[in-house]
């Protein structure tokens, strides 16, 4: 086994950048912060590629199986010989794959932000937060210990909170950041309980050891966790479901998805990094990381499957109705993550049946590129138009040709049109679903068509539809100083690179590298099988084109056709309202207020009683301390006489 | 010569003690209070000497004790008067009722 210790530098460099820019950025690096952040991340990215090359092509494979290598393990808090919180680095196919995804997308976002965030007052702070996020995400994917995962998991949540609330003088951004933090934090409560359950029954917190102990059906740990049950389900199911709850919170799965659309209040490059490519797939990564254990429990996997599939469908339907382009992308992200989740859910561990696992990871990989491309493209558009609303856009294809081309390619990729990246990964998922569960397959197929429809609705609304709206927009009120065209080369370069990725990454023979058991899996694209999804997608695109390519009344008619359903979807199926109802009408008055009452009246009351009694007694007896010497002498003699009587007559 | 019985002497010392105590509680002038304390100390001295004489004629412990008490009383008087002088400087009075700052 060779040395992978240099991987340590990959997360540490962004951490160093964060410390440097966080402490001194506003004073010394107001102009150069972006360059510093980008340079350090570029180093990390190069190291990641070196690591990937070494792992996948040089020495990761032993007898045809990719090994799990613990490159570094530092015992940090030891509770008992087996139970300890360690800090370490795991090198296995998915962690190396995630390294590539996180560092390269983050690098693109860093470069893009050079142009996008130029002139911001808190430019250095922005880069500090980006670095903090990158560090936490890298720490998360390299974790060897489930508690290490949890720590970085929270750090990721915090940095997401900081970045969503970057425009902290905007009330909606503040509300969104709080919402994101509270919702994911609530989900993390489940995650923590899940960790504790697994740790308690598994007797260890080390992921490798935990998997080893809980996947052999004869081990005492496995017997104890499956025989213990609570409310009719075994503790294994509970533990895994609760861990999945944490994952669902971060990955915006129904019903914990409500924070993701609001999180779009953050700067757009941040959305590209956190809420499209990296943090939101942390939940998928977590399930994949613990997949051997998940595969031991049918119930937990079923939950994962149906939550994923339902989220995919729900988000796709909502995405068709939204008018804020970033919100459309947010729902599309949620929908695609739903895909990854149910692909994991229907998978088995190892062999041919492990296709779902591999497909999920493949989709994660390709999605990261084309979705961050979409977000950066949207960022470019927003930079140009100064608005998130579709109605302010239209006819931009001539004004921003590069953005237009890259956006189109990304849309084709996410719609699953060959030969773009999304096609390959989506095919794998659909194939896996087809073999395992026909219902899920149907949902997936329908969602795929919806995906094409809403992505092209977005595309046509931005780049076609009306003519030269942007110009009109500029002529009224905006002076020419704002007319900066498509942005600097730093904004175009990432778009071009990511476009290349969105075209190219689908051709990577992914199944050779990343499978549930490390063995290469032979997959092939069945052309006959592909006809249905591709045809559906193309039909959806054509439908979308007829609706939105030019302004016409067709879409309004369609809206009228769906009537109440449309408005329900437009209102996001009232999930937010439901949450508000539950919190404001049920939780606050029925739980919060009684507890607050008890706190004010019983807990505080007891303390007040003590204090008041003491005060009253002291007021009553303070007269004894009169300050008159003769009184004291009198008490003294009185005491002496009393003691004399006591000792002489009573205690003889 | 007719021996004076012990009870007489004890009567004198008890009377002296309670006269001193009465003075200590009723007088407001610090000097008078100091004098009352001296009375009480002297009544104790009388007790010591009397008991020594009547109960243990061949020992001198009681006498020594009373000598010690006289010495201590002298020192105590010096300290007390110093305190009284300081009190007078700050309060322009040696009335004990005027020095009641040390209360609740």
A394: left (phi over 0), alpha (psi -120 to 50) or beta: left
Interchain proximity B100–A627, CB inside 8 Å: yes
* C-beta of residue A311 within 8 angstroms of C-beta of residue A337: yes
- Residue A66, beta-bridge partner list: A61
Q: How many CB atoms lie within 10 A of CB A176?
A: 23
Omega into A255 within 30° of 0, i.e. cis? yes
- Decide: A403 and A486 in contact? Cβ < 8 Å: yes
For A397, the enclosing helix (H) or strand (E) is none
Candidate from B24, B33, B102 with C-beta closest to A627: B102
d(CA A54, CA A47): 10
b/e A252-268 (16+ beta carbons within 10 angstroms → b) = bbbebbbbbbbbbbbbb
Furthest C-alpha separation in chain A: 115
CA separation for the pair A101, A88 (Å, rounded): 20
pLDDT digits (tens, 9 = 90+) for A564-623: 777 777 777 777 778 888 888 888 888 888 898 999 889 999 999 999 999 999 999 888
pLDDT at residue A510, rounded to an integer? 77
Domain range B6-97, CATH architecture: Orthogonal Bundle (1.10)
pLDDT in tens, A407-465: 888 888 888 888 888 888 888 888 888 888 888 888 888 888 888 888 888 888 888 77
Q: Which helix (H) or strand (E) holds A220?
A: helix A220-227
Question: CB contacts < 8 Å between A and B, how many?
Answer: 26
Measured in whole angstroms, the distance separating CA A115 from the mean position of its chain's CA atoms is 25
B59 three-class SS: coil
**Residue A477, pLDDT score:** 41
CB contact under 8 A, A627 and B24: no
Of B21, B96, B104, the CB nearest to A629: B96
B100 vs A contacts (CB less than 8 Å): 626-628
Q: What is the rounded CA–CA span in Å between residue A52 and residue A93?
A: 9
Domain coordinates in residue numbering, chain B: 6-97
Alpha carbon distance A140, A151 (integer Å): 8
Q: Is A633 on the interface with B (CB under 8 A)?
A: yes
Integer Cα distance of A139 and A95 in angstroms: 10
The separation between CA A596 and the C-alpha centre of its own chain, rounded to angstroms, equals: 33
Check residue A67 and give its pLDDT: 79
pLDDT at A468: 54
pLDDT reported for residue B17: 93
Find, among A356, A333, A360, the residue nearest to A253 by Cα. Answer: A333
pLDDT of residue A617: 94
State the pLDDT at residue B75. Answer: 95
Closest residue in chain A to residue B100, using alpha carbons only: A627
pLDDT of residue A261: 84
Tens-place pLDDT, residues B14-66 = 999 999 999 999 999 999 999 999 999 999 999 999 999 898 889 899 999 99
Least Cα separation, residue B55 to chain A (angstroms)? 22
pLDDT at B13 over 90: yes
Taking the C-alpha atoms of residue A462 and residue A389, their distance in angstroms, rounded to an integer, is: 9
When scoring A615, A621, A633, A644 by the number of chain B Cβ atoms within 10 A, the one with the most, hence best to mutate, is A633
Q: Which residues of chain A have pLDDT under 70?
A: 1-2, 350-351, 466-486, 523-525
Backbone angles phi and psi of A520, in degrees to 5: -70, 145
């Amino acid at each position: 086994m060779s040395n992978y210790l240099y991987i340590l530098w990959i997360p540490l460099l962004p951490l160093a950048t964060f410390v440097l820019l966080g402490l001194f950025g506003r004073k010394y690096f107001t102009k150069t912060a972006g360059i510093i952040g980008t340079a350090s991340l570029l180093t990390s990215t190069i190291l990641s590629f070196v690591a990937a090359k070494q792992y996948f092509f040089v020495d990761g494979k032993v007898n045809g199986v990719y090994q799990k290598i613990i490159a570094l393990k530092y015992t940090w808090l030891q509770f008992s010989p087996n139970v300890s919180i360690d800090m370490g680095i795991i090198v296995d196919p998915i962690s190396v794959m995630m390294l590539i995804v996180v560092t390269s997308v983050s690098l693109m976002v860093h470069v893009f932000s050079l142009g996008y965030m130029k002139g911001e007052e808190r430019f250095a702070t922005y880069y500090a937060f980006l670095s903090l996020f990158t560090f936490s995400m890298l720490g998360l994917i390299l974790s060897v210990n489930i508690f290490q995962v949890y720590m970085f998991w929270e750090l990721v949540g915090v940095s997401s909170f900081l970045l969503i609330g970057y425009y902290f003088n905007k009330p909606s951004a503040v509300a969104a950041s709080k919402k994101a933090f509270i919702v994911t934090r609530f989900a993390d409560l489940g995650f923590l309980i899940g960790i504790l359950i697994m740790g308690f029954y598994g007797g260890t917190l080390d992921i490798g050891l935990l998997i080893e102990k809980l996947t052999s059906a004869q081990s005492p740990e496995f017997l104890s966790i499956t025989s213990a049950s609570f409310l009719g389900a075994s503790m294994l199911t509970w533990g895994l479901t609760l861990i999945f709850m944490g994952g669902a919170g971060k990955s915006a799965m129904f019903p914990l998805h409500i924070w993701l659309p609001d999180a779009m209040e953050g700067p757009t490059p941040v959305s590209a990094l956190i809420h499209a490519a990296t943090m939101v797939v942390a939940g998928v990564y977590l399930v994949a990381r613990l997949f051997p254990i998940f595969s031991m429990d049918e119930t937990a996997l079923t939950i994962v499957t149906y939550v994923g599939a339902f989220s995919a469908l729900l988000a796709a339907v909502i995405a068709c109705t939204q008018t804020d382009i970033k919100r459309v992308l947010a729902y599309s992200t949620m929908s695609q993550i739903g895909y990854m989740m149910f692909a994991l859910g229907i998978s088995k561990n190892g062999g041919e049946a492990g296709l779902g696992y591999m497909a999920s990871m493949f989709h994660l990989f390709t999605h990261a590129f084309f979705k961050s491309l979409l977000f950066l493209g949207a960022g470019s558009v927003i930079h140009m138009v100064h608005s998130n609303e579709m109605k302010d856009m239209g006819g931009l294809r001539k004004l921003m040709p590069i953005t237009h081309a890259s956006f189109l390619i990304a849309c084709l990729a996410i719609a699953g049109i060959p030969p773009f990246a999304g096609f390959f990964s989506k095919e794998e998922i659909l194939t896996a679903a087809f073999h395992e569960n026909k219902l899920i397959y149907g949902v997936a197929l329908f969602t795929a068509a919806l995906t094409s429809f809403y992505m092209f609705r977005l595309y046509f609304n931005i780049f076609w539809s009306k003519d030269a709206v942007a110009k009109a927009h500029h002529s009224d009120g905006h002076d020419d100083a704002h007319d900066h065209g498509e942005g600097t080369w730093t904004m175009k370069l990432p778009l071009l690179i990511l476009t290349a990725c969105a075209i190219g990454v689908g051709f990577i023979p992914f199944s050779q590298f990343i499978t549930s058991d490390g063995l290469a899996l032979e997959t092939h694209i069945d052309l006959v099988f592909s006809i249905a999804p591709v045809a559906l997608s193309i039909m959806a695109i054509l439908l979308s084109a007829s609706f939105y390519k030019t302004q016409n009344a067709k879409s309004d008619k369609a809206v009228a056709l769906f009537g109440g359903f449309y408005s329900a979807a437009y209102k996001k199926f009232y999930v937010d309202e439901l949450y508000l109802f539950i919190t404001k009408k049920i939780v606050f008055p029925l739980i919060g207020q009684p507890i607050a009452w008890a706190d004010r009246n019983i807990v505080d009351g007891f303390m007040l009683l003590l204090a008041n009694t003491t005060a009253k007694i002291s007021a009553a007896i303070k007269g004894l301390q009169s300050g008159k010497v003769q009184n004291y002498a009198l008490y003294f003699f009185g005491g002496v006489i009393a003691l004399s009587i006591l000792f002489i007559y009573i205690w003889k | 010569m007719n021996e004076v019985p012990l009870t007489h002497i004890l009567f004198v010392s008890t009377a002296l003690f309670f006269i001193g105590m009465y003075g200590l509680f009723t007088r407001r002038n610090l000097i008078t209070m100091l004098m009352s304390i001296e009375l009480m100390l002297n009544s104790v001295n009388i007790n010591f000497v009397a008991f020594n004489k009547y109960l243990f004629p061949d020992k001198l412990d009681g006498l020594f004790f009373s000598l010690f008490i006289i010495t201590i009383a002298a020192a105590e008087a010096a300290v007390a008067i110093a305190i009284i002088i300081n009190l007078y400087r700050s309060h322009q009075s040696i009335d004990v009722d005027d020095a009641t700052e040390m209360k609740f």
